[in-house]
């Protein structure tokens, strides 16, 4: 019973308190305010609370109210059932994937000790690990995340088909073709990482990244697999259908792609799930390549740099401080990656469709395979 | 046509590094990022934001701004226009309607009894001002054409056009 | 035949030709103000000075006759200098008020300044001020400042009308055109002085400030004021006739036309009937065709064609009358023709004819003489006696005095059917069971035959106003509705039928005014 309650609380905090907040705020701050700053504009500032524009946040509420109040149009001749559930099919996977994302290491009921001689591995002495900071402790978490992320393509394809519109259909086709192309190199680019860490469990993976090369260089994914990081980031951009890979909703060619015929809250869900997917990809990159919740040299039992060891504020206090530091680090990394993705969106123009396909199949895929072989070779030699 | 020569232009060969677009993407990112952070500067004067918050902050138009027409006046406050129709003739949008009348003063002789400009039709080209031989019509009122709910409200008649003040230094008045 | 070399072009001209005409034949324009081909030559403006080889002085081209072997230069430096000097002299006291001048756009001074002078004024003194807006006559206004004293108007009144109203008073730069004491410029051709005035000194009161001349489009047409059929430039702007201007035709009107004729254009715009009316209800042409055909059939069946009167009008063109004859005889089956038209008016021995209908001659040609047509008086008599049951009328004009007209209108009440094709709303149109709108001669093309028997074409200037149609088109429409179609679509088809071999129109080269 307590476990179920705990899960519910975790789901509520992570999904609604974090993902939804970040995703929906991003629609405003990321898409509008950030682009405005880049383009030397002010951005939305006319909706106000008591005369304060509050960096445009009231617009987010106004937008929500508007979306809810708008008429929900379902095109004639469309498949009503599929047209209605398609937004859900897109939206749900974007949230379900969060089940395996660790926001912090498991909580140790005893004391945590870091063993520098064992490559800075943390062990729990006199207690056991309790999973309080990710929804689910799942040994094949990465596979789960991938499986779920791949499902969202069905939503887009179904939305495109069910709308009974050529533009939507083209958008749906583009979306599915593009997602499948990038799914391949995405998975293959991670194979090298898996070889090095030897686990599919995301929390384990993050723990491994706390290890050090020569006592000073953290073994983050981006350090050991720089090419894989680059490939994954690119494929992740393409996977989330964000610019410069937003071909499925190429407004200058196919109106709005598979969301052409959506209005009201359905449209909002489509949009929101796109942002949620962006945040999810950011979280995956953070976990796999940027050390997840790891803060370099900060451990549960103090700060260790080379052979020095400080424990500020005492052992117990420091444990809690380190927890908050690490959660903060995770959130910061996610936000930074989201910001970076948006930066890419406002920097690069949209690719042509054949360029997207060429990039996926002719460049990213061979590169990721090469990366896999080189990694395997290096590991075999070592 | 006999002098046509063919000039061969070679394609610029790109190196692999250039083909990867990574340097260019980084360069682009540096531009956008520098803009982003510059415009987050707490010191608002250091920001480079060009947006004009229009309804709150009314822009001062420059002296030579071409806006709403106005009709100039003589010393005695009568309209300077002599209804020569030069402006309505040259108007490419055909938006000026003038009806001439006999003036009491034989030295003035002709004046516009009706002078209506359809500001909705006006394309603000300024040809009427150029065409006017008497400097009677100007577009220096420093106002843009106001929005209106009714089409009729955009018909500016003679008396209304005479009332509009001007931005420029040009003096009202003159004998003829 | 003397040979003369003008600017290197050798040309043979008739004896007695002036240099100006010879130059025009050779293709060179010699600027001139005072010279007018229909008037005597005073050579007072000095604008036409040309260089004749062997002559120390420049010669006025308008006055000097050619002699054999003459070598003339109209463009030499001396001539150009003289032209500039003359224009500068004329412009010394000219107010240059082109913006308010009605002549601007067709002003010789303006044209010549642009072509031959185009230099800035060197005058630094006040200009002479003279009389402005002087009512020199009921139709004409005079502006002394603009006048260049070419005396065309004075000579016109001396030589063409012989009324001698005008003269020059004062001397030097105070000289002005004035009427003799106690007179005003009130002859019947007074507006011609405004036409021939090369500048804006004399302007027509009717056209004053109405429209700038550069906005006007011009169509060759014929005046409908009387049976003289003066040739005119019909000048219109935005589907409205703005003025008539005489068109040179040495056989008919030379360069002139009368003041009354000039004002007849107003008829084309005043109080027009613009939509077909059925007992006071507006219809469209489709419905009116049906209704008219219906009523005509019923009347023809009940009363027969013999009791139907068909009034033809000498106001209509030959084409209209031809179709009227075809329609009446072939479609309706009546030959009961009556003659309408306006009553006679004043006449003189120059241009004005007593017959105020433009096409009586054409009507008589179409109907093979006027003898078969009954008069309007006969029509009134027949109506009052009740021998007529239906009346089909072209145009609402009848040569009645007011008493006869009231009787006629009263008599209309007993008719079974009264169809009127008319341009204007009138008491007659109000009485008509069917009133069909026709258009003026400006809105269609056709032919008038004037009192001298000359066939004169007039062209369409603009589209018919409202839903009006030419008479002949109404007849073809009705004939189709009556299942006996007259197959004409274009006016030239009618003309081809009427005039089997159209005589070649001799395009008399119009000499420079």
Tens of pLDDT, residue by residue over B91-104, are 999 999 999 999 88
The counts of H helices and E strands in chain C are 14, 21
Give the pLDDT of residue B171: 63
Mean of all residue pLDDT scores within chain C: 88
Nearest-Cα residue of chain B relative to residue C102: B84
Q: Please, which pLDDT band fits residue C179 given cuts at 50, 70 and 90? A: very high
Q: Does B104 touch chain A (CB under 8 A)?
A: no
Q: Given a cut of 90, is residue C78 above it in pLDDT? A: yes
Q: Give me the residue from A40, A347, A348 closest to B39, CB to CB.
A: A40
Q: Given a cut of 90, is residue C196 above it in pLDDT? A: yes
Q: Select the residue from C145, C209, C211, C214 to test the B interface by mutation, using most B Cβ atoms within 10 A.
A: C209
DSSP B112-139: EEEEEEETTT-----HHHHH-TTS-EE-
Interface of C with B in 173-212 (CB under 8 A): 208-210, 212
Q: Which two tokens stand for residue B123?
A: 């394309």
DSSP A173-229: HHHHHHHHHHHHHHHHHHHHHHHHH----HHHHHHHTT-EETTTEE--HHHH-HHHH
How far apart are the C-alpha atoms of C363 and C448, rounded to whole Å? 9
Q: Given a cut of 90, is residue C278 above it in pLDDT? A: no
How far apart are the C-alpha atoms of C247 and C103, rounded to whole Å? 18
Q: Given a cut of 50, is residue C512 above it in pLDDT? A: no
Give A50→chain B minimum CA distance, Å: 17
For chain A, the residues whose C-beta falls within 8 A of a C-beta of chain B are 34, 36-42, 343-344, 346-348
Of B58-72, C35-49, C260-274, give the lowest mean pLDDT range.
Answer: B58-72
For A53-94, how does the pLDDT look when each residue is reduced to its tens digit (9 = 90+)?
777 778 878 888 888 898 888 888 888 898 888 888 888 888
Average pLDDT over residues C402-424: 87
Of A17-26, C52-61, C294-303, C314-323, give the lowest mean pLDDT range.
Answer: A17-26
Inter-residue contact A255 to A167 (CB < 8 Å): yes
Chain C contacts of B110, Cβ < 8 Å?
A: 99-100, 209
Give B132→chain C minimum CA distance, Å: 9
Size of interface A-B (CB pairs under 8 A): 37
The pTM of the whole model exceeds 0.90: no
CATH no. for C98-107+125-268: 3.30.70.20
Give B6→chain A minimum CA distance, Å: 31
For A258-314, how does the pLDDT look when each residue is reduced to its tens digit (9 = 90+)?
888 888 888 888 888 888 888 888 888 998 888 888 888 777 777 777 777 777 777
Inter-residue contact C339 to C312 (CB < 8 Å): yes
Average pLDDT over residues B66-88: 88
Sheet holding C217-222, edge to edge: C217-222, C231-236, C241-246
* Subunit contact B28:A34, Cβ cutoff 8 A: no
Please give, one letter per residue, the 3-state secondary structure of C251-286.
Answer: CCCECCCCHHHHHHHHHHCCCECCCCEECCEECCHH
Q: Give me the residue from B86, B102, B107 closest to C99, CB to CB.
A: B86
**Helix A166-197 crosses helix A141-162 at what angle (to 10 degrees)?**
170
Q: Select the residue from B81, B82, B83, B84 to test the C interface by mutation, using most C Cβ atoms within 10 A.
A: B84
* Subunit contact B106:C100, Cβ cutoff 8 A: no
Give the pLDDT of residue C148: 92
Give the pLDDT of residue A112: 75
Fold held by C277-506? Rossmann fold (3.40.50)
Give the pLDDT of residue C48: 92
Of A304-313, C215-224, C256-265, give the lowest mean pLDDT range.
Answer: A304-313
Q: Please, which pLDDT band fits residue B172 given cuts at 50, 70 and 90? A: low
Rounded to 5 degrees, φ, ψ at C319 are -60, -45
Chain B contacts of C215, Cβ < 8 Å?
A: 85, 89
Average pLDDT over residues C86-105: 90
Strand partners, C310: C337, C392
Domain boundaries, chain C: 3-90, 98-107+125-268, 277-506
CATH of C3-90, one of 1.10.150.20, 3.40.50.620, 3.10.20.740, 3.40.50.720: 3.10.20.740
Q: Give me the residue from B106, B133, B134 closest to C133, CB to CB.
A: B106
Nearest-Cα residue of chain C relative to residue B110: C100
Closest to A156 (Cα-Cα) out of A172, A177, A178, A138: A172
Q: Given a cut of 80, is residue B120 above it in pLDDT? A: yes
Of A341-355, B110-124, C156-170, give the lowest mean pLDDT range.
Answer: A341-355
Which residue would you say has higher pLDDT here, B73 or A118?
A: B73
Give B140→chain C minimum CA distance, Å: 23
Which helix (H) or strand (E) segment holds residue C456: the answer is strand C455-458
Mean of all residue pLDDT scores within chain B: 85
Size of chain A, expressed as the number of residues it contains: 382
Rounded to 5 degrees, φ, ψ at B166 are -125, 155
Q: Given a cut of 60, is residue C505 above it in pLDDT? A: no
Chain C contacts of B106, Cβ < 8 Å?
A: 132-133
Strand, helix or coil for residue A295: strand
Give the pLDDT of residue C236: 93
Task: List chains touching B (3+ CB pairs under 8 A).
Answer: A, C
Inter-residue contact C50 to C59 (CB < 8 Å): yes
Average pLDDT over residues C357-362: 89
Q: How many CA atoms lie within 13 A of C210 on its CB side?
A: 15
Task: List chains touching C (3+ CB pairs under 8 A).
Answer: B
Strand, helix or coil for residue C195: helix
Specify the residue for token string 């069909």: C436
Q: Please, which pLDDT band fits residue C511 given cuts at 50, 70 and 90? A: very low
DSSP assigned state of A70: S
Q: Select the residue from B107, B132, B174 to test the C interface by mutation, using most C Cβ atoms within 10 A.
A: B107
Closest to C238 (Cα-Cα) out of A122, B97, B56, A141: B97
* Subunit contact C98:B133, Cβ cutoff 8 A: yes
Q: Given a cut of 80, is residue C164 above it in pLDDT? A: yes
Q: Please, which pLDDT band fits residue C39 given cuts at 50, 70 and 90? A: very high
For chain B, the residues whose C-beta falls within 8 A of a C-beta of chain C are 82-86, 89, 100-102, 106-107, 109-110, 133-134
Chain A contacts of B29, Cβ < 8 Å?
A: 343-344, 347
ipTM greater than 0.95, yes or no?
A: no
Closest to A28 (Cα-Cα) out of A39, A50, A9, A44: A44
Chain B meets chain C (3+ C-beta pairs below 8 A): yes
How far apart are the C-alpha atoms of C320 and C447, rounded to whole Å? 9
Q: Does the domain spanning B70-164 belong to CATH 3.30.70.3270? A: yes
Give B121→chain C minimum CA distance, Å: 18
Chain B contacts of C146, Cβ < 8 Å?
A: none
Of C22-31, C32-41, C375-384, give the lowest mean pLDDT range.
Answer: C375-384
* Subunit contact C209:B86, Cβ cutoff 8 A: no
Chain B contacts of C208, Cβ < 8 Å?
A: 102
Radius of gyration of chain C, Cα coordinates, nearest whole angstrom = 28
DSSP assigned state of C71: E
Q: Does C132 touch chain B (CB under 8 A)?
A: yes
What percent of chain A stands above pLDDT 90?
1
Interface of C with B in 78-97 (CB under 8 A): 97
Q: How many CA atoms lie within 13 A of C422 on its CB side?
A: 30
Chain B contacts of C209, Cβ < 8 Å?
A: 83, 100-102, 110
How far apart are the C-alpha atoms of B111 and C97, rounded to whole Å? 13
Rounded to 5 degrees, φ, ψ at C281 are -105, 135
What percent of chain A stands above pLDDT 70?
98
Q: Give me the residue from B35, B36, B51 closest to A42, CB to CB.
A: B51
CA A329 → CA A322, A323, B164, C113, C220, distances in Å? 10, 10, 64, 88, 93
Give the pLDDT of residue A54: 72
Q: Give me the residue from B101, B106, B133 closest to C209, CB to CB.
A: B101
For A316-361, how does the pLDDT look when each residue is reduced to its tens digit (9 = 90+)?
787 888 888 888 888 889 888 888 888 888 888 888 888 888 888 8
Give B22→chain A minimum CA distance, Å: 11
What percent of chain C stands above pLDDT 70?
97
Q: How many CB atoms lie within 10 A of CB C345?
A: 13
Chain B contacts of A34, Cβ < 8 Å?
A: 36
Q: Given a cut of 60, is residue B176 above it in pLDDT? A: no
Q: Give me the residue from B106, B107, B110 closest to C209, CB to CB.
A: B110
Give the pLDDT of residue B93: 92
Angle, CA of C279, C285 and C289, to the nearest 5°: 75
Domain boundaries, chain B: 16-46, 70-164
Q: Given a cut of 50, is residue A209 above it in pLDDT? A: yes
Give the pLDDT of residue C77: 92
Inter-residue contact C100 to C71 (CB < 8 Å): no
Inter-residue contact C450 to C358 (CB < 8 Å): yes
Q: Given a cut of 70, is residue C500 above it in pLDDT? A: no
Chain B contacts of C212, Cβ < 8 Å?
A: 84-85, 89
Q: Please, which pLDDT band fits residue B146 given cuts at 50, 70 and 90? A: confident
């Amino acid at each position: 019973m307590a476990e179920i309650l705990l899960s519910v609380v975790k789901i509520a905090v992570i999904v609604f308190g974090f993902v939804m907040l970040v995703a929906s705020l991003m629609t405003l701050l990321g898409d509008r305010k950030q682009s405005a700053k880049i383009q030397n504009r002010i951005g939305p500032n006319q909706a106000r609370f008591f005369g304060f524009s509050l960096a445009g946040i009231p617009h987010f509420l106004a937008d929500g109210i508007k979306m809810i109040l708008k008429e929900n149009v379902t095109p004639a001749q469309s498949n009503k059932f599929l047209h209605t559930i398609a937004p859900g099919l897109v939206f749900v996977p974007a949230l379900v994937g969060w089940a395996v994302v660790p926001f912090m290491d498991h909580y140790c009921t005893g004391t945590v000790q870091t063993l520098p001689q064992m490559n800075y591995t943390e062990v729990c002495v006199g207690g056991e690990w309790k999973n309080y900071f990710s929804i689910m402790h799942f040994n094949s978490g990465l596979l789960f995340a991938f499986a779920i992320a791949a499902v969202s393509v069905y939503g887009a394809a179904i939305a495109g088909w069910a709308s009974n519109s050529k533009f939507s259909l083209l958008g749906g086709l583009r979306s599915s073709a593009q997602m499948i192309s990038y799914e391949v190199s995405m998975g293959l680019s991670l194979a090298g990482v898996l070889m090095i860490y030897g686990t599919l469990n995301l929390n384990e993976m993050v723990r491994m990244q706390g290890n050090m090369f020569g006592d000073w260089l953290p073994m983050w994914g981006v350090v050991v697999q720089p090419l894989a990081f680059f490939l994954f980031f690119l494929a992740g951009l393409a996977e989330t259908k964000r610019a410069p890979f937003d071909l499925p909703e190429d407004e200058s060619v196919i109106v709005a792609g598979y969301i052409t015929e959506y209005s009201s809250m359905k449209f909002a869900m489509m949009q929101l799930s796109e942002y949620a997917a962006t945040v999810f990809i950011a979280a995956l990159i953070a976990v796999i390549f940027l050390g997840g919740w790891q803060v370099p040299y900060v451990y549960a039992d103090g700060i260790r740099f080379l052979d020095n060891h400080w424990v500020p504020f005492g052992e117990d206090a420091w444990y809690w401080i380190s927890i908050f530091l690490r959660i903060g680090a995770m959130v910061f990394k996610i936000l930074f990656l989201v910001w970076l993705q948006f930066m890419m969106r406002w920097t690069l123009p949209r690719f042509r469709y054949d360029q997207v396909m060429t990039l996926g199949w002719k460049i990213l895929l061979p590169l990721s395979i090469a990366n896999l072989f080189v990694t395997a070779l290096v590991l075999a030699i070592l | 046509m006999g002098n046509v020569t063919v000039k061969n232009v070679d394609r610029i060969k790109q190196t692999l590094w250039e083909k990867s677009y990574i340097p260019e993407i980084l360069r682009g990112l540096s531009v956008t990022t520098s803009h982003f952070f510059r415009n987050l500067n707490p010191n608002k004067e250091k920001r480079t934001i060009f947006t004009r918050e229009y309804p709150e902050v009314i822009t001062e138009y420059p002296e030579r701004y071409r806006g709403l027409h106005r009709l100039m006046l003589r010393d005695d406050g009568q309209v300077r226009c002599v209804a020569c129709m030069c402006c309505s003739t040259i108007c490419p949008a055909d938006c000026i309607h003038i009806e001439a009348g006999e003036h009491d003063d034989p030295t003035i002789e002709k004046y516009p009894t009706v002078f209506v400009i359809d500001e909705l039709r006006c394309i603000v080209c300024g040809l009427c001002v150029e065409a006017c031989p008497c400097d009677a019509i100007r577009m220096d009122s420093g106002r843009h054409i106001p929005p209106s709910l009714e089409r009729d409200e955009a018909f500016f008649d003679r008396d209304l056009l005479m009332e509009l003040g001007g931005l420029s230094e040009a003096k009202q008045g003159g004998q003829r | 035949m003397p040979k003369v070399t003008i600017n290197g072009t050798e040309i043979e001209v008739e004896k007695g030709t002036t240099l100006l005409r010879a130059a025009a034949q050779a293709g060179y324009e010699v600027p001139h103000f005072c010279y007018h081909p229909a008037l005597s030559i005073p050579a007072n403006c000095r604008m036409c000075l040309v260089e004749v080889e062997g002559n120390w002085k420049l010669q006025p081209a308008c006055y000097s006759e050619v002699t054999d072997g003459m070598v003339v230069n109209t463009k030499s430096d001396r001539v150009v200098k003289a032209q500039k000097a003359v224009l500068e002299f004329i412009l010394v006291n000219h107010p240059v008020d082109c913006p308010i001048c009605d002549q601007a756009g067709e002003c010789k001074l303006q044209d010549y300044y642009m072509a031959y002078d185009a230099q800035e004024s060197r005058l630094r003194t006040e200009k002479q001020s003279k009389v402005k807006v002087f009512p020199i006559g009921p139709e004409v206004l005079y502006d002394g400042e603009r006048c260049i004293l070419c005396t065309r108007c004075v000579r016109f009144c001396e030589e063409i009308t012989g009324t001698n109203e005008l003269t020059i008073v004062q001397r030097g730069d105070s000289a002005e055109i004035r009427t003799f004491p106690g007179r005003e410029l009130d002859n019947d051709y007074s507006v011609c002085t405004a036409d021939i005035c090369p500048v804006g000194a004399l302007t027509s009161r009717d056209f004053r400030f109405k429209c700038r001349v550069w906005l006007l489009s011009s169509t060759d047409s014929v005046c409908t004021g009387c049976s003289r059929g003066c040739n005119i430039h019909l000048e219109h702007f935005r589907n409205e006739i703005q003025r008539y201007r005489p068109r040179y035709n040495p056989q008919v009107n030379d360069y002139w036309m009368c003041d009354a004729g000039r004002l007849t254009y107003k008829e084309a715009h005043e109080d027009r009937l613009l939509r077909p009316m059925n007992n006071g209800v507006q219809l469209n042409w489709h419905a009116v065709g049906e209704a008219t055909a219906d009523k005509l059939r019923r009347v023809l069946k009940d009363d027969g064609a013999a009791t139907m009167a068909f009034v033809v009008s000498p106001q209509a063109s030959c084409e209209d009358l031809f179709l009227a004859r075809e329609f009446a005889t072939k479609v309706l089956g009546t030959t009961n023709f009556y003659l309408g038209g306006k009553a006679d008016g004043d006449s003189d021995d120059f241009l004005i004819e007593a017959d105020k209908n433009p096409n009586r001659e054409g009507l008589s040609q179409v109907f093979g003489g006027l003898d078969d047509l009954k008069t309007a008086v006969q029509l009134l008599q027949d109506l009052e006696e009740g021998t007529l049951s239906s009346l089909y009328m072209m145009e609402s004009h009848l040569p009645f005095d007011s008493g006869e007209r009231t009787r006629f209108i009263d008599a209309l009440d007993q008719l079974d059917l009264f169809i009127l094709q008319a341009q204007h709303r009138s008491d007659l149109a109000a009485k008509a069971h069917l009133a069909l709108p026709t258009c003026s001669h400006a809105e269609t093309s056709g032919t008038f035959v004037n009192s001298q028997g000359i066939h004169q074409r007039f062209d369409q200037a603009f589209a018919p106003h409202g839903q009006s149609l030419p008479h002949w088109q109404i007849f073809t429409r009705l004939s189709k509705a009556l299942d006996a179609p007259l197959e004409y679509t274009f006016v030239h088809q009618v003309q081809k039928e009427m005039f089997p071999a159209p005589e070649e129109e001799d395009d008399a080269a119009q000499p420079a005014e």
